[in-house]
Amino acid sequence: MQRFLRSALLRFALTAALLPALSLVPVLARTAFAQSGKRVLVYGVQAQGRLGDLVPQTSRAVTVATTRYAGVQVLGARNVQSLADLRRDPGLLNCAKPECLRNIAVALGADEFLVTTLVLGANGVVVSVDRMETKSGERINREEEVWAGEPRFVGPLAGLLAVSHYNDPSSLTPGTLELVPDVEATALVDGSSVGTASPAGLSVEMEPGRHEVSFEAEGFKSGKTEIVLMPGQQLRVDQTLIESGAAAAAWYESWWFVALVVAGVAAGATLPFVLGGDSTPPVTSGPLSVTVPGP
């Protein structure tokens, strides 16, 4: 009996002594990972099914993915407050495939990137986080969990939606827009002038993301072009401006021409057209006719 008690006390003492050390294992592992100098891109959410209101799921998914990499240099991770914020986010890119996400990770210099997928299941929202290696594009591991509860439905989503979350878009590597109108014009990006552009082109550095490009010139009309600029990308935007005065004159002349022809037909006049030959065709009365001489 004494031997048993002595053995039990010894095991208890050893366990008590080892517990603090064991509790440090996750911390040490995380610290070692953080000190490895890895840069991780937390790139948004893919959604499948009727996940119309993505805000609660998006915020939670990004938070979970980010906290798992505490201490690591996270290149992106920003929670949003509304679905409108997602649409206005400069990082909102039409990019849902891992290959596209990998290109972004390469441009940002990330060693790894995460692909978070939300799928509406029978028992709630199924969340999977794929940890991907940027260099090889291969998946390192996948973690899945189910969040109970129904998301609020505000409408169906077509296909996949990928949203990038950035702490500060201005901290990313800027891209370059080459703005090339066919005439000298004021170049506007997102409604603000960025300078005067000529056919030789105007180079402007911009934050990565979605932008709207247009041009203004006196006497010309220009449409708006929506573009998506990737970090570090050089993107050329060509624009042909329509001369508003010339368009009006062409319409004016065409209108009068039609009016004259209609008036001539109504009066019973003959409008001959001679294609080749030197002879003068006879003038006849009756409906509008076209005279084509023989060979």
pLDDT digits (tens, 9 = 90+) for 256-282: 555 665 566 555 544 443 334 443 333
> What value does the mean pLDDT take over residues 110-130?
67
Tokens representing 267 are: 């009066």
Domains and CATH numbers, the chain: 32-171 (3.40.50), 175-240 (2.60.40.2070), 245-295 (no CATH)
- Residue 214 in contact with residue 190, Cβ under 8 Å? no
Choice between 262 and 82, residue whose per-residue pLDDT is larger:
262
The dihedrals phi and psi of 175, each to the nearest 5 degrees, come to -100, 175
pTM: 0.35
Residue 202 has pLDDT above 90, yes or no: yes
Q: Which residue intervals of the chain are DSSP H helices?
A: 2-35, 55-67, 83-88, 98-108, 244-266
> What value does the mean pLDDT take over residues 33-51?
46
- Give residue-wise pLDDT tens across range 153-201: 322 222 222 223 333 344 456 788 999 999 999 999 988 999 999 999 9
Q: Which of 37, 77, 87, 79 is nearest to 57 (CA)?
A: 79
Q: Which of 89, 107, 229 is nearest to 164 (CA)?
A: 89
3-state SS class at 144: strand
Tokens representing 145 are: 């969990």
Tokens representing 101 are: 């996400």
- Residue 38 in contact with residue 112, Cβ under 8 Å? yes
Cβ-proximal residues to 228 (8 Å cutoff; 6+ apart), any chain: 93, 94, 209, 210, 211
Q: Which residue intervals of 89-227 are DSSP H helices?
A: 98-108
